[in-house]
Structures are given as C-alpha cells and as structure tokens.
Structure 1
Amino acid sequence: MRLAFTQEADFRQRRDFGQKFSATFDFIGAHWRGLGQALLYLVLPAAILQGIVTGLVQNQILSKVVQGSGTGTNRLRQMAMVTEMYQSPFYWANIVVSGIFIMLLVLTVYAYVKCLLRPMPSSEPISVRQVWEVVKQEFIGSYLSYFGLLFLVGIGFVFLAIPGFYLSVAFSLFYITKVVEGTGFGETCSRCLRLVRGKWWSTFGLMFLMTMMLGIALGVFGGVLSSIVYFLAGSFGLVHTSEAGSSTGLFTVIISALTGLLNMFIYPPLLLALAFQYFNLVERRDGTGLHQLVGQIGQAPAPVQNAALRPDEEGEY
C-alpha cells in the first residue's frame, strides 16, 4: 500500500534498503506537482544563473587554451591558466552562485518535507509561501554551513582520505537534520555522526546506488539536450562561422544553463532518499514515530505494521 505522505507518521518509520527507494518514488508520485511548483518558483532562477556563470568560466578556460596553444611548455601554460582562472571574477562569482543554487535546491526539498510533518493526516496542499518561509529562515545558516562542511571534509581528506570519505557520507544527512530538528552547526554535525554510527554502510550504499542511477539519467538527458542545441545552433549557422570562438562560447553557455536546469530536477530524488534514511535512523535510535503513535491512541486509528513483511534488519545495507 502506497503512503500519501500527508502526516508525520508516514515519514517516521523504519525502512529497509528497498523500502527507502520505493518511498522516494512514492513521495515523488504523490507530491510531484507541489514540489515541482516550489522548485520552479524558488530554484529555477538560481539554476539558470548558475549554469550561465559556469558556462562563462568554462568558455574563459577554453579561450585561454586556444590562445596558449603552441606557446611555451605545457607546465608553464597550465600554471598561467590556473593563475588567470583564480584572478577571474567569473570564477569567484561561480563559487558564490553555485552555493546559492545548491542551498536553494536542498532547502526547498527539505522545507517541503518539513511542512508535511503534520501530526494528523491532511489533504491541504503545501503552498510555495509555506516552503519559502522555511527556506528564508534557514538560508543564511545553511549557506555558511555549506562552506563549513567543505572545510571539515577537506581536512578529513588531508588525513589519509579515510576520515574525509567517512565524513562526506555522514554529513550527507546534515541539511535534513538541520531543517527538521532546527539545530546549529556543531550540534547538527554531532547528531549526524551519532545517527550513522553502525549504519554508515547503509547510508553509503543508498547514496552510491541513487547517485549512479541519477548520473546515468543526467548523462542520457544531458547528451540529448546537447545534441538538440548543437543541431539548432548548426541550423542557424552559429557553429560554422568566422567567429568560431564566440559561437563556441555561446554554445558552452547555453549547454551549461540547460545543465543547471536539468540538475534542478535530477537531484531531488537523491535528497529525498537521504531524508528517508534520516527518518529511518532516527526511528531506530529514538523511536520518535512510535512514541507519537502511542500518544495518538484513542484519537485516530494507528497503522498496523506486520513485522514479517517489514523486516527491521537491513543486513550490510
């Protein structure tokens, strides 16, 4: 039986590995319209802007490669390109805009989930205004946390890479934890480490398979979009012109903008899968959902779960 995900009890459940996947796509099937509307209003402008800025950076690098070909040694050319890239305003603008895009995407998905954590079932749809209120409240702290997490994971990779790899998986639950529990940076980091203790491989396996699936989808759709844009550009004579550099730059910017738009719809399933992993781990550790069901006895029928059909053990995953 598919859940409608209209109340908190639908989220706070123990789920095995396969059930997290099914819950992710059941959620998308139930809420694609409301979540998609929130993404279009709140994330679309940042997605297009981030794609354009990324395309400008790539175009600048390509132009330097063309200009520097045949002059000096490879090492000197590479050093000159790196120096000019760091001096470019587009490079630093890309870092800022990419962080804004990532935060808006992540917070919009998790704000939508938070708005659905209602004590009783409700058919009332989640509005963009409700989502925006949560995003607005969490944005500054989450944006600063983005760079804090990059610093911590980077430090971890310095020490034989193993700590960084561990932290990158553990902190994948950072933003759903922060949005739902309303904790600060340090407390959220500690909470993530406690939640994944003993369940690190489960979290890693979920991330790996979902990322692989989304990577294939992104490659396929990205290739189709690139082919369509290249065909249209060739039809209008934008590729084979005397100003090849400018036409190539325009083509790069368009492809980057479309890729940013595609990312906006590709990555929410990964974020939702991590959200269900978070609720699964919280339920296993704290039993929050069970406590809520006990408190609702006499108020509403509690859902019956068959332990034989919903195993608690995940094995290695």
Structure 2
Amino acid sequence: MKYIIELRRIRDFGEIINDTFTFLKQNFKPLFSSLLVICGFFVLVGTVATAFSQLSVYDSLDPGAKGDYNSTLKVGISAAANGFVMMLAQFFIYLTTLCFVAVYLEKKGDKPTAQDVWGYFKYYFFRSLGSGLLLFILLIFGFLFCIIPGIYLTPIFYLILPTMIMENASFGYSFNKGFRLIKDNWWMVFGIIFVCSLIVSVSNSIASIPLMLVASLRILVSFKYLSIAAVIFFSMLQNILLLTYAIPTIAIALCYFSLQERKDGTGILERIEAFGTHADKADDLPAEQY
C-alpha cells in the first residue's frame, strides 16, 4: 500500500505549507534527480559565473585597481552574466518542478522519473519561456507604476504557468483564469509566496553570507589562494541551493489546485466518477472531503 498526496483538494494556508514539505519529503529523491538531470548544467555554469563575478569584485577592491575602467567594466559584465544565468536557472527549476507535479498528478502518485519529467519539460518549454518573458515585462511595468500594481500582479502571475501546465492551456486562457482564481484569495496566495520565499532566502544565505565575509577579509588580509578556493566552494553551494526554489513552486502548485477546487470542484467530480471503484492505495483525504 502506498500513501499519496491528493493534489486536487481544498486547503487552507497551514495545510498548503504542511503538504508542501510532506510532498517534498515523499518525493525528495525523484524530484531532485529530475532537477539535477534537467537543471544540473546551470549549477555548473552558475558556479563559474558566480565565482568569476565575486573574484572580479575582489580584484576591483585592490588599491591598485581603484578607478580602473577595465576593472569596473569587468565587474559589470560578470555581474550581468551571473544575474542572467541565475534567472535562467530559477526558470528551469520552476518549470521542472511544475512538470514533476503534473506527472505525479497524471500517474496518480507513482514516482515520476526524470525521463517522464523531461518529456513534459520539452513540450511546455517554449510556451512557458515566452509566457514567462511576457509576464516578466508586465511585472516590470507594474513595479514602475508606483510599485503597488507590481505587488498586486505578482500572486496572480504565479498562478498562470501552473494553469498552463496542469490544464495544457493557452496563455490567454491561463492569464484570464489566474485573475479568476485569485478573486477573494489574494492575501492567501501572497502569504504563501512570502513565507516560502523567506525560507528559500534563509537557506541561500548559508552560501551568500560566507561569500561576503570572504570579500571583507580579503580587504584586510592577504590570503589569495585560500580565498579563491573559498569563493569556488561557496559559489557552488549557492548554486546548488538554488534547487530550493522547488519549495515555493510546490506551494504555488498546491495553491492552484486548492483554488481550482474552490471554483470548479474538479477533484470532487473525479471522485464521484470513480465512486465504487477499488484502488490498492491510500491518500491523504480527510473523511469530510467526500
């Protein structure tokens, strides 16, 4: 007998947070195997980009390099490249995790394989990339107009890609449904994003804080080779910890399923249709859900 998490059910704030970590715990190995297979390239490239960016900053702090145009240009280029790689890595992690959840839903709790997730990833990649770029541009305009519109749109936009992938929907349909799902639930979705983002930020500080300390110490003490080794190690750790972005992605997926259930009752209809059938499995549905 296997214990699965019923994705399509109504959850409150606490249940979404709890079930996010329950899902992560139960699927840790297949999920992070898929993330490493699909996103591992960005861990390696990100490590190089982060290390190069940090070392460029350290070199620019050298008294002999102050005011040097080439040094400043090098810092700017390396920082831009590092930022670009990290943005791509976060997008790949977000999409891979959503595809994993979609496969989990389709297989009704059977452990998804990296090959299964890769099939979904390839299918949705260009549609999701184009949609993500458009949403990113809209968010920038939202934040430019007094910041508040950008804050308001963020929880809505987070629901668009889950809708697109879970329902194999177009961007227009997913965009409209995001606004429909968020109605009367904006604060809950915003709270989920805030709490999970805070968790990710704390975990990523494990690497970012030591990197800043190495920079500070390099100004005071000369330990070139040791500092380079430390930068490479913590750069790698920082990029590996980017995989923790799977946590808010799972939470957003559970938000989508919960709001969808409130609005459309998809899961209830499926259980009514399956009433009387026997399956050798257990789920996490409380009795009152039936």
- Same fold, judged at TM 0.5 (above): yes
Structure 1 window deviating more from structure 2 (57-66 vs 12-21): it is 57-66
What is the deviation of 1:293? 1.1
1:259 matches 2:262: no
Quote the Cα distance in structure 1 between the aligned partners of 2:247 and 2:175.
Answer: 23
CA RMSD in angstroms comes to 3.3
Deviations 1:36-80 (CA, angstroms, capped at 9, x unpaired): 2112222222122123213323433443354687659xxxx9xx9
Residue of structure 1 equivalent to 2:4: 4
- Output aligned runs, 1:76-95, within 5 Å: 81=72, 88=77, 90-91=78-79, 93-95=81-83
1:53 matches 2:49: yes
Q: Report the CA distance shift for 1:306/1:125 in structure 2 as closer, same or farther (over 3 A).
A: closer
1:278 matches 2:256: yes
Q: Report the CA distance shift for 1:4/1:110 in structure 2 as closer, same or farther (over 3 A).
A: same
What is the deviation of 1:214? 2.9
Q: Report the CA distance shift for 1:3/1:163 in structure 2 as closer, same or farther (over 3 A).
A: farther
- For structure 1, list consecutive stretches of 5 or more residues without a partner in the other structure: 311-317
Quote the Cα distance in structure 2 between the aligned partners of 1:248 and 1:33.
Answer: 33
What is the deviation of 1:226? 5.8
More helix by share: 2
Amino acid across the alignment from 2:181: L
Q: Is the 8 A contact 2:208 2:238 kept in 1?
A: no
Q: 1:113 aligns with which of 97, 101, 109?
A: 101
Q: Report the CA distance shift for 1:141/1:69 in structure 2 as closer, same or farther (over 3 A).
A: same
What is the deviation of 1:151? 0.8
- Output aligned runs, 1:197-276, within 5 Å: 197-219=183-205, 221-222=206-207, 240-241=222-223, 244=224, 248=227, 251-264=230-243, 266-276=244-254
Quote the Cα distance in structure 2 between the aligned partners of 1:260 and 1:296.
Answer: 44
Quote the Cα distance in structure 2 between the aligned partners of 1:63 and 1:144.
Answer: 38
Quote the Cα distance in structure 1 between the aligned partners of 2:47 and 2:84.
Answer: 13
Deviations 1:234-256 (CA, angstroms, capped at 9, x unpaired): 9xxxx844xx4x76556434422
Structure 1 window deviating more from structure 2 (184-193 vs 17-26): it is 184-193
- Of the two, which has the highest radius of gyration? 1
Amino acid across the alignment from 1:263: L
Quote the Cα distance in structure 2 between the aligned partners of 1:188 and 1:85.
Answer: 40
1:24 matches 2:20: yes
Q: 2:134 aligns with which of 141, 145, 148?
A: 148
State the identity %. Answer: 24
What is the deviation of 1:180? 0.9
What is the deviation of 1:288? 0.6
- For structure 2, list consecutive stretches of 5 or more residues without a partner in the other structure: none
Amino acid across the alignment from 1:24: T
Amino acid across the alignment from 1:255: F
Q: TM-score, normalised by structure 2?
A: 0.82
Q: 2:122 aligns with which of 127, 136, 140?
A: 136
1:159 matches 2:157: no
Quote the Cα distance in structure 1 between the aligned partners of 2:29 and 2:256.
Answer: 24
Equivalent pairs counted in the alignment come to 279
